[in-house]
Amino acid sequence: MQRLLHVAKERVNLSPKEQTFLIFRIKCILYDISKLILFIAFFAAMHKLNSFVYAFLIFFPIRRISGGLHFKHYVSCLIFSFVYMYLAVVVLAPIRLELAVVVPILTICAIVIYWIGPIRPPSRPALSRPEFEEHRKKALSIVCYEAVLIVLFFDNPLSGAGYWTIILHALQLIAAFMMKKGGERNA
């Protein structure tokens, strides 16, 4: 890894700040790929790969846009992500809620995700006000689109993993928001 970065520095003239950001992005990508490989192996071994893939396809776009809880260390992030996905796919997905309950809950989750997000890690630059508003609108659009798909295909066994993923995302956004506000008060 260090050799690759050294060669990249020699061939591309990057400022120290750009180099740091590039290294950060490469690490993020590698960490995310390694987590995904571990999750695929685990859920395949549990015969829950379809549910995991479905939950991940719901999770990834809203997480990417609206953010959430962030951890300083890979292991902390891995453990939290594993618990999140395990809850959505294995523990909660078999709990089938009625459609009349799911629709209002997903509506509340969409509102929460819109109002609280995006929550970014301290290591990333803050968004400008227009970028912030754009992320909020994108997150709302994504959640609404996913919610409509869940409702349209509600009889599909995978829908439970879908709505629980959105519910868990909204809850972890609330937790991230509370932690962020608590940190601002203590600063």
- Phi and psi at residue 121, in whole multiples of 5°? -70, 150
Tally of CA atoms within 13 A in the half-sphere of 128 that contains its CB = 2
Q: What local confidence, expressed as pLDDT, does residue 150 receive? A: 96
Distance from C-alpha of 114 to C-alpha of 149, rounded to nearest angstrom: 19
Q: What local confidence, expressed as pLDDT, does residue 186 receive? A: 41
Cα separations (Å) of 185 from 114, 116, 158, 180, 181? Answer: 23, 17, 41, 9, 6
pLDDT in tens, the chain (187 residues): 566 556 555 656 777 777 777 787 788 789 889 999 999 999 999 999 999 999 999 999 999 999 888 888 889 999 999 999 999 999 999 999 999 999 999 999 999 999 998 988 777 778 889 999 999 999 999 999 999 999 999 999 999 999 999 999 999 999 999 988 775 544 4
Q: What local confidence, expressed as pLDDT, does residue 1 receive? A: 58
Among residues 142, 44, 48, the alpha carbon closest in space to that of 92 is found at 48
Beta-strand runs (E) in the chain: none
Q: What local confidence, expressed as pLDDT, does residue 17 receive? A: 75
The tokens for 106 are 């997903």
Q: In 10 A of CB 90, how many CB atoms?
A: 15
